[in-house]
Amino acid sequence: MEAVFGMKIPSFAEESKLWAQGYSRVAGIDEVGRGALAGPVAAACVILSSQNDAPWLSSVRDSKMLSPLKRRYLAESIQKVALAWEVSMVPPEEIDRHGIVAATRLAMGQAVERLPCPADFLLIDALALPQISLPQKSIIHGDQLCLSIACASIIAKVTRDQYMIELDKVHPGYRLACHKGYATKKHLEGLEKLGPCPIHRQSFAPVRRLI
């Protein structure tokens, strides 16, 4: 892992060690939307080839560090060359029922289980998935350090953002297309004016106090 102007550049260091041990389908897993007040939590799982040397890989970063245009370009590039990828979203009612950590694990687990070809090792941003009986490693700040996890963060972010843009048409007034459900000033103003709608997480404090 290198850094440019203080920004960490994810690498294949973790994957390379596993490929050398005989794991051929190493999956990176990340989520987006844990801190939002509205909409689902989304998780993506991506398996990259050990032979992948595409020039755009050098542009991959944690999705939060990229512009929307760059994220969309990279998401399309990743999806074209990945051995397999999948996204899962868990809705607000499940988040309220089980809690955000359990809902995040559920989304991650579903993404792994729905892969068109099975993974044989999991590299996961921050969390462990005890419900998945595969060898795995949890990496703090994995989306900044590990290319597979960073790629998963990009696909999850692009997928969820587009979903929130569509929800903005169904639930106008909250400006969901702008903030994607996070607790921005505009979102909180919409909540105060309109009250919560069905896609808001009722267990999250800014929403709960308005119910």
Percent of the residues in the chain that have a pLDDT greater than 70, as a whole number = 97
Mean pLDDT taken over the chain: 94
Percent of the residues in the chain that have a pLDDT greater than 90, as a whole number = 87
User: How many other C-beta atoms can be found within 10 angstroms of the C-beta atom of residue 57?
Assistant: 19
Cα–Cα separations (whole angstroms), residue 80 to 69, 90, 103: 17, 25, 28
Residue 27 buriedness (CB in 10 A; 0-12 / 13-18 / 19+)? buried
Contacts of residue 211, defined as CB under 8 A and 6 or more positions apart, other chains included, come to: 196, 202
Domains of the chain: 2-160 (3.30.420.10)
Q: Evaluate if residue 120 carries a pLDDT over 50.
A: yes
The confidence score (pLDDT) of residue 11 equals 94
- What is the identity of the amino acid at 135? P
Structure tokens at 17: 């060690």
Q: Evaluate if residue 147 carries a pLDDT over 90.
A: yes
User: Among residues 3, 6, 8, which one has the least CA distance to residue 139?
Assistant: 8
The confidence score (pLDDT) of residue 52 equals 81
As a whole number, mean pLDDT of residues 54-67 equals 90
Structure tokens at 46: 């991506």
Q: Evaluate if residue 1 carries a pLDDT over 50.
A: no
Q: Evaluate if residue 7 carries a pLDDT over 80.
A: no
As a whole number, mean pLDDT of residues 105-129 equals 97
- What is the rounded CA–CA span in Å between residue 159 and residue 161? 6
Q: Evaluate if residue 3 carries a pLDDT over 60.
A: no
Considering just the CA atoms, what is the radius of gyration of the chain in Å?
17
Residue-wise pLDDT tens digits, 38-53: 999 999 999 999 988 8
As a whole number, mean pLDDT of residues 165-181 equals 96
The confidence score (pLDDT) of residue 5 equals 45
Structure tokens at 77: 């590039």
As a whole number, mean pLDDT of residues 48-66 equals 89
Residue-wise pLDDT tens digits, 65-112: 899 999 999 999 999 999 999 999 999 999 999 999 999 999 999 999
Using 50, 70 and 90 to split pLDDT, how confident is the model at 26?
A: very high
